[in-house]
Structure 1
C-alpha cells in the first residue's frame, strides 16, 4: 500500500526528509532506480550524522560568536536593511492597505529579511494568507473565516481518532468532545487568517463523517446570515473568496484525485490518516530544541499547560522532554494532522515537520500557523510527491544553472556521472533546513517567500527596475541559492573530488558553515545573468 510505504519512518533521533524504499523494494522500475536508491541510502546516513554533528558543534549563530569576529548572517549590511518595526508601520495607508501594492514591502524583505519582532505580522503577507492589496477590514473578515475552517479540520481529526478508538474498545481520544478544548486558546492569541489556495472540498474526503456534517450544517445556519440556502460544509467552503494567487499553476484537490488511490472506501481513508497520526507524533517529539527556544512564550510555558496541550492531541511518551518541547510538539501534531486532512492528496510525509517547526516557533496562534504552513506548502508540497517528479524537476534546474554558469565544473560533474545534482537532494527537499541555523533558515525563507509573493502579485521586471532592484523576482530563488552553494565549492570539487559520494559528503557537511547573505547575493547574481536562459 503506497500510503503505508510513504509513511514509514526510521528510529533515529531526528526526523528526516522523505526516503525511498530500500533497494529490494525499489527494484520494480528497472530504469535509473539503482543509482537513485544508492544516492538516497547515502542521504539517510549522511543526514543523521550531519544533524548530530551540527547540534553538538559550537553555536555559529550565537551573538557571542558574532562579537568574536566570526562570520555571521547578521552583518552590518543586514542590520541596516532589515525591515524594522517602524518601517513596517509606515508601509500602510490609513485604510490598512500596503502602499504601492506591496512592491516596496517586498523589496525591503528581499534585501534584508524581517525584524524578528514583527515576523508574526509579516509572514501572513509573504505566504499569501493575506492579499497584498487587502484592507484591514478585509483581513478581519479573513481571520474569522480562517479560524472557523481550522476548527472544522481539528474536529475532523478528533472524530477520526474517536472512531478508531471506538473500534478498538478504547476511550474517546482525550476524553473530549469537539468543543470541549480550544487548543489555540492556551496562548490567548488573536484570531488568525485564511487564504484559500486550493479547492476547499479537498479536506472533506471522509465518507464516514456524516455526524460532523450535520453539526456543521447547523453551525452554518446560525452563523451565515448571507447564505441563500442551507449548505453542507463543501458548499459553505466554496463561498470563501480565493486569494490573488494564480491558481492555474497549482493542482486542484478533488474527492477522488489522490496519489494513494481510491478514497471512496472509508476504512482505507481512515487507515491512511491513522498511519499519518503515528508518524506525525514520532517526528514532532524529535524537534530540535534550537528551534523551540526562539519562542519566548513557548519557553516560559508551564508543565500544566504543556500537559494539557499534549493531552488534547493524544501525545504520549514525552516524559524525557522539557515543558516547552512538549508544548511545541503538541502544537505541531495538531497542525500537521489538520494539514493531512486539508491536503489529503499529500497527507503527511517525513520532512514536513522540518518545514513547520520554524513557523510554529514564530506564530503563537495555531490557526495562524496552520494557514501560513498551507501557504508555504503551496510550492513545497511538490517535494513530497510519491513519484518524486517535483524533486527531479528542481534538480534538473540546479544542474542547468551550473551548466550555464560554469561549463568546466559541469563537465567535471559529467565525468563523475553527477551532473544530475542528486548530491543536493536534501537541500531541495527541506529547503536548506539542515544546512542553516534557525536565524539563517528563516532569513533565507523570508527572501524566498518575498520573491514568490512578487511573482504571484504580478510584479515584473519594470516594477523592480523602478525601485532599483537588479534581480527580478523568481519562483526558484532557492534553486539558484543551491547552485550558488555548489559553485562556491567549485575549486574543491574539481581538484579534489573524484566521485559523487565525496561531493555528497561535502554538501552534507556544510551545516553551520554557510554565510546566508553571501549565498543570497550570489544567488541574485545568478538570477540576473541566467534568468532568461533557465
Structure 2
C-alpha cells in the first residue's frame, strides 16, 4: 500500500515541446552566465489520487556543454560547470489549485506568449513561454476544466471563478477526509501545508458567497467568457463611515446622507529616466581644489535621482551621498578627515577585541550581540562571489558589525544590519575604514527602521498614502492586513531582499539623494502595491495569500518602471488642488494655515500655482531647477 502511494499511476494527457521557463533573477552576480530562459517540455499529467497538474521540466541535453553536468534534485535540476552552478526550477501546478494567471505582453498572433500561474495560497510559479499555437491549445484545455474570466480592470489578468463538471461543491466537512498524500505532505512540511489548507478554506467560503450572487449575464452569454473585455463590475465596494457626511433639512424629517468625494487627483504622467552619472560629468563638478559647490552638489543629486551612478564611480560618490565626505571639502580636508576617522575606527575596534573571556562572562548583552552577529555573518549573501566559501570578507563583516556596536551602544546589533552592510562592503572593495564610515552614514539615515514603534509609524504613513491614492485598495487591505505586515520586510532592510544586488544598489543611491521629496521610499512601496492591486483584489486574496504573493515578487519587480511610477505618483500628489495635511506632512510639504471660507481669499491668491510650487520644492530640496526642466507627458 505504501509503495503504491509513493508511486501513483501517471498518465500524460497532453504535451507541448519547446516550452521555455524564464529563469528567476539572481540576487547577485554569478561567476557562471545564467540564461534568461531554459527550454523544456510542458505536460498535462494525471496522477492517481493526486489529480491533474501542469508539469514542466528542462531538456537536459540542451543544457550540456563540454564541461557541464546536471543533477536531478527535488523540484529542480542543478546545472554545473567548472566556473559555477545554477538551479533550474521545475514547474508543477495542480490545475484544481489555480487561482489566476497573468498573460504578459500583447497577445499578437504568431508571437510567443508568457504565462505566470498563481495558485490559491498566493504562490507565483515560474513564468512559461509558449508559441502561439501552444498557448491557444493550453487555454482551450484549461477552459474545458475551469471557468475563466478576464479581468475588466487588467486585460492581462485571467481569473478562475470555478471548476467545471463538479458533481457538488466541496464541503467544509470534507477537509478531514483527505487522502493519504495530504497527510504525507503535512508530515513533511506542516506550516506550508497548513497555510495551503487555510487558503483553500478561504476559497471555498468565497465560492459559497458567489452562489448567493450568481454571475450576471451579458448578451445572452455567461459572465466572464475569455473572449470579452466587457464584464460588468457589479459588486459595490464597502463604504467607510469616514467617507459619509450628513446634511440636515429643517423642513423634512430626514437627513440626506451623501458620500464625500475622494481626493481629486490629476492624471498621472509618464516620466523619463536617464543614463547613470558618468565619470566625465562627475569630474566636471569639482573645482581646482577638489570642492563641489552646493549648487553642483544639488545637480549631482538630480542626476543620481534620475539615473543612478555608474558602477565605476560608486566607491567615491556613495561617500558623498552618505555624508562620509563633505561636498564642499577640499581634497586635503578630505584626506585629513579620513585619517582621523581611521584612527577612531581602529580605537573602537581595539575596545571590543580586547574584552577578556572573564569580562565577557559578566557582560550578557555583549555576548548576545556577539552570538547574533556570528550567526548572521555566516548566512548573509553567502552565494555572492564576494562572500562565498571561506572568504576573508566574512571575518571583516564580523569585525565591522562588532565595531558598530561600540559606536552605537544603544542600538547595538539588530538582525537586518548585515543585509545593509554587504552592498557597501562590495562597493568599497573590502576597505575597512571606508566601509565602516559609509555604512554608518547609511545607518544614520535609516536607524529608525530598527525601532519597532517608528517602523510601525512608517507602515501607518504608507496606509495613509493608500487611503487617499486608492481608497478601494485601502479598504481591501484593511479587511485582510490593516497593519501592512506584508510590507514589513520592504521597509526594515530598504527593499534589500526584493531586488537583485545591482538593482538594490541603484535603488538605494536614488533614495539617498532625498529627491524628489521626503519619504520617497514609501511612494516606491505604494507603486509596487499599485502594480499588484488587481491580482490581490480580484483574486480575493486573504492575508496569508497576500503575504505569500508579495514575498514571491522578490527578484521579479522591474526597478526602472517602479521608480518611474513612484515619481509619477509624487507629481500627481503635488498637482492636486487640495492636498490633505497628513499627506503634505508625509512627503515633506509645508502645512498650510486653515482659514474660514468667508474671509479666505481665492486659491490663486493664498497658495502658489503648480509651477511656483514646483520651483519652491526644487529650492527646498537644493535643486537648481532640474525638476522644472523635466519633461513629462500625459499617459
What residue in structure 1 maps to residue 570 of structure 2?
A: 527
1:343-382 map, 5 Å: 343-364=408-429, 365-382=431-448
The answer to whether the Cα contact below 8 Å between 1:291 and 1:358 also exists between their aligned partners in 2 is no
The answer to whether the Cα contact below 8 Å between 2:24 and 2:556 also exists between their aligned partners in 1 is no
Could you tell me how far 1:379 is from its partner in structure 2? 2.9
- Tell me if 1:129 matches 2:324: yes
Change (3 A) 1:383 1:372: same
CA distance in 2, matches of 1:285, 1:165: 26
Figure out how many residues of one structure are paired with residues of the other and give that number: 319
What residue in structure 1 maps to residue 516 of structure 2?
A: 473
Could you tell me how far 1:59 is from its partner in structure 2? 3.8
Could you tell me how far 1:128 is from its partner in structure 2? 1.0
What residue in structure 2 maps to residue 447 of structure 1?
A: 510
Return the index of the structure with the highest Cα Rg: 2
What residue in structure 2 maps to residue 486 of structure 1?
A: 529
What residue in structure 1 maps to residue 389 of structure 2?
A: 322
CA distance in 2, matches of 1:394, 1:488: 20
1:41-52 map, 5 Å: none
1:400-439 map, 5 Å: 400-416=464-480, 418-439=481-502
What residue in structure 2 maps to residue 164 of structure 1?
A: 357
CA distance in 1, matches of 2:483, 2:568: 22
CA distance in 2, matches of 1:374, 1:115: 22
Change (3 A) 1:338 1:292: farther
The answer to whether the Cα contact below 8 Å between 1:339 and 1:347 also exists between their aligned partners in 2 is yes
1:229-268 map, 5 Å: 267=362
Bigger share in strand: 2
The worse-fitting range, judged by mean Cα deviation, of 83-92 and 430-439 is 83-92
Question: What TM-score, normalized to structure 2?
Answer: 0.47
CA distance in 1, matches of 2:310, 2:443: 23
- Tell me if 1:96 matches 2:290: yes
Could you tell me how far 1:89 is from its partner in structure 2? 1.3
- Tell me if 1:500 matches 2:543: yes
**CA-atom RMSD in angstroms:** 2.6
State the SS of the aligned residue for 1:482. Answer: helix
1:183-222 map, 5 Å: none
Q: Deviations over 1:238-283 (max 9, x none)?
A: xxxxxxxxxxxxxxxxxxxxxxxxxxxxx4xx32122211111111
CA distance in 1, matches of 2:504, 2:492: 14
CA distance in 2, matches of 1:499, 1:401: 22
State the SS of the aligned residue for 1:283. Answer: helix
Work out which of the residue numbers 309, 312, 337 in structure 2 matches 1:117: 312
Q: Point out 4+ residue stretches in structure 1 off by more than 3 angstroms.
A: 56-68, 165-168, 289-293
What residue in structure 1 maps to residue 559 of structure 2?
A: 516
Q: Deviations over 1:392-438 (max 9, x none)?
A: 0110111111111111111222233x233221111111111111100
Could you tell me how far 1:376 is from its partner in structure 2? 0.7
The answer to whether the Cα contact below 8 Å between 2:291 and 2:328 also exists between their aligned partners in 1 is yes
CA distance in 2, matches of 1:155, 1:394: 37
- Tell me if 1:339 matches 2:404: yes
Change (3 A) 1:289 1:116: farther
CA distance in 1, matches of 2:531, 2:290: 43
Question: What TM-score, normalized to structure 1?
Answer: 0.56
State the SS of the aligned residue for 1:348. Answer: coil
- Tell me if 1:288 matches 2:381: yes
Could you tell me how far 1:524 is from its partner in structure 2? 1.3
Could you tell me how far 1:322 is from its partner in structure 2? 2.2
Change (3 A) 1:112 1:66: farther
Change (3 A) 1:377 1:423: same
Q: Deviations over 1:175-232 (max 9, x none)?
A: xxxxxxxxxxxxxxxxxxxxxxxxxxxxxxxxxxxxxxxxxxxxxxxxxxxxxxxxxx
Relative contact order (C-alpha < 8 Å, sep 6+): which is higher? 1
The answer to whether the Cα contact below 8 Å between 2:423 and 2:501 also exists between their aligned partners in 1 is yes
Work out which of the residue numbers 335, 338, 344 in structure 2 matches 1:143: 338
CA distance in 2, matches of 1:142, 1:496: 57
Could you tell me how far 1:290 is from its partner in structure 2? 4.5
Could you tell me how far 1:523 is from its partner in structure 2? 1.3
CA distance in 2, matches of 1:58, 1:513: 7
- Tell me if 1:395 matches 2:395: no
CA distance in 2, matches of 1:447, 1:58: 21
CA distance in 2, matches of 1:521, 1:335: 35
- Tell me if 1:87 matches 2:152: no
CA distance in 1, matches of 2:299, 2:412: 36
1:29-108 map, 5 Å: 57=24, 59=26, 81-99=275-293, 100-108=295-303
The answer to whether the Cα contact below 8 Å between 2:414 and 2:450 also exists between their aligned partners in 1 is yes
CA distance in 2, matches of 1:60, 1:347: 27
